[in-house]
Structures are given as structure tokens and as C-alpha cells.
Amino acid sequence: GSFEVTVKEKPVLGSISLEGPDKTQYWVGEELSLDGLKVIAHYSDGSSRVITDYKVSGFDSTKPGTVTVTVSYTEGEITKTANFTVSIQEKPVNVVLDSITLQGPDKTEYTVGEGMNLDGLKVTAHYSDGSSREVAGYEVSGFDSTKPGTVTVTVSYSEGGITKTTSFD
């Protein structure tokens, strides 16, 4: 007996694309946040997949301006890159953190024992000069899903020696 076999070429990496990141505005001296960055590898057979073993270069927040951040991914002998830009701003003198506000998170109902999901949570810092910006590096506390009931979750953000908090149920 005999049977037919189809041999296909192994798909090769054709390109990468980016979604995000959530944060694209920074103060001089601030660290890069990759929260919300999704890197997608695209292959010669039309398939694609989300990857996590990429490298990031080019971020420099030592002076104000627009910075191009390069994301690179190597598979086999092929390396592909994609870029996103961020804005670095000089923090005005005498401007201090005044308050924070929250948007989200998407999920606010849990079953007993379920872990917290902060997808959709955006923290905005408001400053004494009336300006505001979305921030990362906040802390979340108070979540407890060991028993039923309403739980108050506290979000804290610190900058320049000042800490502001707000909460959601």
C-alpha cells in the first residue's frame, strides 16, 4: 500500500508588530514601564503569535524630547524589530502631586478564592499646577477574596516624597 504525504516549508519569522504600551509620557529620570505592551510575531505562512522573549533598547529619560524605543525579537537566525515612541518631559519646578484618580478596573466581582485582576485599571496623577498624567508604579492593597462581602481596595501612588491614595470596592 501507499499513501500521500504533504511536506510544507517551515514557517519563518516575517515581522513583528506592537500593541501598546499603556504609558508613553514620562518625566525626566523616570523608568520605562512595559505594562500593556503586546509583541506579536508574524510568520511566512500567515500565522502569528504573542511573544514574550523580546528585547527592548533605546529608552533614555535623561533629557526631554521624543525617544524611539526599539523592540527586537530573534528566532533562529532571523531578527525583526518594531518601534514605539515616548515623550520625555521636564518636570516643572514646585509642582507637586495633589491627588490621584482611578479608571477601572474592568473586573470588580469575584468568587471566593479568586485572584485579583487589575486589567483596565488606569491611575491618573493630578498636580498642583493643574496638569495630570497617567502613571505606573502604584501600589494596590486590601484585596481579600477569602470570604464573601464587599472589600475596599486601596491604590497608593508616591512621587516626590508625597503619597496619595484612593480606593474602589
* pLDDT in the model for residue 79: 96
State the burial class of residue 14 (Cβ atoms within 10 Å of its Cβ: 0-12, 13-18, 19+). middle
Q: pTM of the predicted model, to two decimals?
A: 0.57
Mean pLDDT lowest among 10-19, 48-57, 84-93 = 84-93
Mean pLDDT lowest among 6-15, 44-53, 98-107, 134-143 = 6-15
Cis peptide bond upstream of 105, omega within 30: yes
* pLDDT in the model for residue 40: 97
The 10s digit of each residue's pLDDT in 26-83 is 989 899 999 999 999 999 999 999 999 999 999 999 999 999 999 999 998 999 999 9
pLDDT at 93 over 80: no
Residues in the chain: 169
